[in-house]
Amino acid sequence: MQNKTIKKITVSALFIALSVVLSELIPSIEFPFGGSVTVFSMVPMCLLGIMFGTKWGVFANLVYGAVQMLFGLKNLSYATSFIAAVVIILFDYLVAYGVLGFSGIFSKKINNKLVNIVVGVLFAVFLRYVCHFLTGVTVWREIAELPAAIWFSVTYNGGYMLPEMIITPIGAAILYKTNVLKRISN
């Protein structure tokens, strides 16, 4: 039991570090008000939910969200109120990355492992998009009328999250097909 926990902690720490490198150090398409299209940066974090289960995946991704928040503190400058700042901290970082742990939620419901991985990753990345959408509406609602804030949040956050919804399941599927997940899990 203790060896399994040590392995989970070690793999999680390595995957958090890998995701930070992929999101912060590898050139990506950066958006002016936060958000970016990265090269597979969410794949390691989604794999934690798939390999170790939803609870562990959510916890590890909350840690990753806290690390990402340190890199994105400048985004708090868009908050025009205390509530907006809290929403940015929660729904642009902690909850937004925490939900990536739900990538393993279908593991006992879908028998085909590849489909399970792709659907789980799509679901988790979609949840992250919803979090960023809620932040966008909250922050831009203080500046613009509600219909405009909703439209801006849908399109702006969709601009970087839609490519991530395509890239991330592809990366996870490639790792599954090349048996990398089996090697890491054993």
Q: What is the pLDDT of residue 32?
A: 83
Instruction: Please give the average per-residue pLDDT across 41-70, as a whole number.
Output: 97
Segment among 110-114, 155-159, 168-172 with least mean pLDDT: 110-114
Does pLDDT of 186 surpass 70?
no
Range 54-74 burial, b when 16+ CB lie within 10 A, else e = bebbbbbbbbbbebbbeebee
**Tokens standing for 100?**
């990536």
Instruction: Name the percent of the chain lying above pLDDT 90.
Output: 72
Which tens digit of pLDDT belongs to each residue from 67-113?
Answer: 999 998 888 888 888 998 999 999 999 999 999 999 999 988 888 99
- pLDDT level of residue 146 (50, 70, 90 thresholds): confident
- pLDDT level of residue 185 (50, 70, 90 thresholds): low
Q: Are 144 and 97 in contact (CB under 8 A)?
A: no
| DSSP conformational letter for 44 | H
Domains in the chain, CATH or no CATH each: 2-185 (1.10.1760.20)
- pLDDT level of residue 33 (50, 70, 90 thresholds): confident
> Considering the chain, what is the average pLDDT of its residues?
92
Stated length of the chain: 186
Q: What is the pLDDT of residue 85?
A: 93
Instruction: Name the percent of the chain lying above pLDDT 70.
Output: 99
Q: What angle do CA 175, 61, 21 make, to 5 degrees?
A: 60
Distances (CA, A) of 126 to 32, 41, 95, 163: 21, 15, 13, 11
Q: What is the pLDDT of residue 89?
A: 95
Instruction: Please give the average per-residue pLDDT across 17-39, as a whole number.
Output: 90
- Considering Cα of 70, then 27, then 31, then 155, what sign does the dihedral take? negative
